[in-house]
Structure 1
């Protein structure tokens, strides 16, 4: 079992490397650290930091030192967080600790979720059927965005040689994602959120059109569904079998159905380009949820292109965790890595016994590892739950 804990650079800097490593290995019993090396904005409660209780990371920055030569002519380039200059390169520090016998290192890389870059490059973000720019989401069909993501992967894996690189958001993002002061007075249903997430940017429109899809008709259908949702006094499903049937729920509308099938093309080809860009010494895994198809991800194909999957078992009962693990193994087969991701958040995890039961449900199905979220966001005693679950 490969057991990792997700964390941020500021977590390590605040408590110090020695205490951090003791917590990871001795208290939690983990053997890997999954460090965020490319991340978005947020507000983070830091329950046990000796320096602060709240941290606001910079939006859309990286937490390593990029190779200037690699980015010299790039139209979209990473910005190094001030955190690295002020507190040090924690990716380099963890790799150095690994060489001295410390835990393995995984580079947790947020790919296309980047509001800072989206605002700087509005022509490279996803757009709704009404041409509204989703500034938080670079589009996987954008050549510039794709070069940015593959550049990150090449840069990190060749310069730092982490044991693993975890890919987050290399796909189309949902409409609702926790943006600052999001407002929805309609009461959007899951189908509405999905329809508003469908991208009709210039790249998607041109590429899907070249594949023979009637994009004008697909756009017209999506606009019609969204407009109808906005006109009702109270929410009412227009697709009663959504999301259970996947894109087949849209079979009565051929142009839209064909477009939804096509959405896998840019996402899966981006994963193939990421694979080609990475140093082969670093294993690549995709971090996803059970409904990854919503973002254009084919989990079975992703498992074949990469070295495996980490499926998030957030807020699931043990029975649902077991089903997720069985389905994940069916998708990736016996030879690819399958991990499960858990949050140590309360009340999602009521107590130690609750967490142990949910981890045991996945382990009983033969998963290869687990990732736990998140070192700096929970009280230290919850690290004991991790050791108990691994025992």
Structure 2
């Protein structure tokens, strides 16, 4: 298989600009793969080169394909986007155009980051230590959530059009995630911010009981710790050792139970994908490099346990979304220490502001991340100035010629 050199985009880019225009962009950037979302969350997106609109508000949590028979009766069934009334034809035509150019298609989707399903079904979302529902984050401890995810994975893999499925956001999202008009007006240390994001929904409490963890003691300790910090009581921020000792050691047991939710679902998703298409490449977008608490062994604060995830998938796509070159180098070095050579790495580069503002800046990101890279992806065609495509081509030629091949 060729090294994946991919450009992220959305169905509305293809619908508004035409398949050939988007595939032209892939070729202009010297890439060989188009990553197109099949299930998406919410946002307000400024589209600098779209011929039909400057702003787009996606239908929250919509599917961008025609789902299988499960959809009609599933209690959490997401809406199907009305951008097209012929999704089957849309995908078949795009696949035909891509095949003629030698461009591969990959599907990607931010799975549990889903404000559409979460707002419609608040009993399925993360419930923080104070009982507040975080409606943009579905909780994987809920059996109905897992069933929804596995149905979607089977649908996408069964389409027979994709070389790869990239799983994004089967995780517990951090407290800060750019929610609509998000305002956090007080300082939070990395540990208190993490503690404020934890889930104690009924499904998680049930999972803890089954594992012999006293969830009430853990929740009380978390609330007391954060409330004391917010009240200005003197404290020293905690790392993983101190956190695991919290609540008389019960917090360490809580973390193991918590990690099982998203990790199990990633493993089961990979199994469902391969059951539908044994040749499918299964990849996982890894936000671990961005989390301030750093690795806890080979687990991140989002609940992803790489010791179990890596054997189940084919590729990790680490998100190296940093503006400071020194911070980026340190993040790459730390990530390589954690992951090593156990799995193919395909770094994700955020080729838009504020991470990328010049050709030289993009080139320096590629230089810092190319060491163990077996490919790259670039986020996101929909938002970038078209000249960025040229920066990608020249940056790959300069920093990763073995991957890029002949880009003349």
TM-score (norm. length: structure 1): 0.91
What is the CA deviation profile of residues 90-124 of structure 1, one whole-angstrom value per residue up to 9, with x for unaligned ones?
54433223333431111111111111211222221
Q: Which moves more between the two structures, 219-228 or 335-344?
A: 335-344
In 1: Cα distance, 2:350 partner to 2:387 partner: 14
Matched, 1:374 2:371: no
- What's the secondary structure of 2:284's corresponding residue? strand
CA distance in 2, matches of 1:113, 1:344: 22
Which residue pairs with 1:262 in the alignment? 257
Unaligned runs of 5+ in 1: none
| 1:13 and 1:87 in contact (8 A); partners too | no
Deviations 1:250-302 (A, max 9, x none): 42431122212321111211112101211222211111221371110112432
Query: Where does residue 249 of structure 1 map in the other structure?
Result: 243
- Matched with 1:352 is 359
Q: Does 1:164 align with 2:158?
A: no
| C-alpha displacement of 1:48 | 1.1
| 1:353-380, Cα deviation, whole Å (9 max, x unpaired) | 12112102222x1311111011010110
**For the residues of structure 1 that align with 2:192 and 2:11, how far apart are their CA atoms?**
36
Aligned twin of 2:296: none
Q: Deviations over 1:157-190 (max 9, x none)?
A: 1124411111111111122211111222333333
Question: CA, structure 1 residues 237+340, in 2 after alignment: closer, same or farther (shift >3 Å)?
Answer: farther
Secondary structure of the corresponding residue to residue 205 of structure 1: helix
What's the counterpart of residue 228 of structure 1?
A: 228
Residue 347 of structure 1: how far off its partner (Å)? 3.9
Please name the residue that 1:286 is paired with.
284
Residue of structure 2 equivalent to 1:76:
76
Given the alignment of the two structures, is residue 341 of structure 1 paired with residue 348 of structure 2, yes or no?
yes
SS of 1:372's partner is: strand
In structure 2, what is the Cα distance between the partners aligned to 1:78 and 1:358? 37
SS at 1:100 equivalent: helix
Other structure's SS at 1:177 match: coil
Aligned-partner Cα distance in 2 for 1:167–1:247: 30
SS in 1 for 2:200: coil
Gaps of 5+ in 2: 292-298, 398-408
Q: Which residue of 2 aligns with 1:66?
A: 67
Higher mean alpha-carbon deviation, 280-289 vs 250-259, is at 250-259
How many Å apart are 1:8 and its aligned residue?
0.8
The farther-off stretch of 249-258 and 127-136 is 249-258
TM-superposed deviation, 1:249: 3.3
Q: Which residue of 1 aligns with 2:48?
A: 47
In the alignment, the residues of structure 2 paired with residue 88 and residue 377 of structure 1 have an alpha-carbon distance, to the nearest angstrom, of 26
Rate the CA distance shift 1:208–1:92 in 2: closer, same or farther, 3 A.
Answer: farther
| Distance of aligned partners of 1:250 and 1:335 in 2 relative to their CA distance in 1, 3 Å threshold | closer
Q: Deviations over 1:301-324 (max 9, x none)?
A: 322111121000101544544554
Q: Is residue 194 of structure 1 aligned with residue 194 of structure 2?
A: yes
Change (3 A) 1:326 1:300: farther
Following superposition, the deviation at residue 239 of structure 1 comes to 4.5
> TM-score w.r.t. structure 2 length?
0.87
Distance 2:87 2:162 in 1: 20
State the secondary structure of the residue aligned to 1:377: coil
Q: C-alpha distance in 1, partners of 2:168/2:65?
A: 17
- Out of 289, 310, 313, the position equivalent to 2:317 is 310
Question: How much is the aligned-residue C-alpha RMSD, in angstroms?
Answer: 2.2
Q: Which residue of 1 is the match for residue 97 of structure 2? A: 97
Q: Is 1:64–1:89's contact at 8 Å kept on the other side of the alignment? A: no
**Alpha carbons of structure 1 residues 305 and 237: separation in structure 2 relative to 1, 3 Å:** farther
C-alpha change, 1:237 and 1:342, in structure 2 (3 Å) is farther
Cα separation, 1, equivalents of 2:23 and 2:357: 26
- Closer/same/farther in 2, CA of residues 239 and 137 from structure 1, 3 Å limit: farther
Distance change in 2, residues 1:280/1:135 (3 Å)? same
Q: 1-side partners of 2:145 and 2:108: how far apart?
A: 18
Q: Hey, what does 2:29 align to over in structure 1?
A: 28
Q: Is the 8 A contact 2:263 2:308 kept in 1?
A: yes
Deviation at 1:134, TM superposition (A): 1.0
